[in-house]
Amino acid sequence: MNIMFNKLFEIDKVSDSIEKINFREAVRGIIIKDKKILMVHSKNKDYKFPGGGMKKDEGHIDALKREVEEETGYVCSKIGDQLGIITERSKDKYVNNRVFKMISYYYLAEVSNVRKAQKLDPYEAKLKFRPEWIQIEDAINNNEKIISSGVEPIPNWIFRETYVLKVIRDYINRFNKIT
């Protein structure tokens, strides 16, 4: 798969005059097997890609392996190409007059059949994260239903993840028409 996306999601209109920025980098795995994609499902019924924030002095590959294993229990057997970048900007929820900016790097990855216990962060455990292999179209439809319902809370990540799911779906559909 050789696609590349680079998209900005401005969740809140943020003034460029705000100089204080809470910056975070994250890595996310795009893991497809037997025409299904590995996603993390929460108690809010949304789907997100496995992955998360990088620790200080941690590279993308090591962070992605750690995050996939922590959130899904699956062990990464291969990390492939970086497929895209999503930048999100919003008002910082915790500090007034500060911008939260997160850049997520998406990588194609594979997992082995080995599955360990999840090691969820407290907020992930509260949301009851669990891995699920799902058809891409079903994950898109599910997330779009949540978005269109307008029922709060709608996690910010649902917009990002639904966008990436659509890019992957469209690429696969184009590829299948060629072959």
Per-residue pLDDT, averaged over 93-117, amounts to 91
The pTM for the full model equals: 0.90
Q: For the segment 1-41, what is each residue's pLDDT rounded down to a tens digit?
A: 555 788 888 766 766 667 788 889 999 999 999 999 999 99
Q: For the segment 64-97, what is each residue's pLDDT rounded down to a tens digit?
A: 999 999 999 999 999 999 999 999 988 887 888 8
- Give the CATH architecture of domain 5-178: Alpha-Beta Complex (3.90)
**Cβ-contact 55, 155 below 8 angstroms:** no
The per-residue pLDDT of the chain, averaged, comes to 91
Return the domain boundaries, the chain. 5-178
DSSP secondary structure letter of residue 159: H
CB atoms under 10 Å from CB of 70, counted, come to 19
Distances (CA, A) of 124 to 121, 129, 136, 157: 5, 6, 22, 13
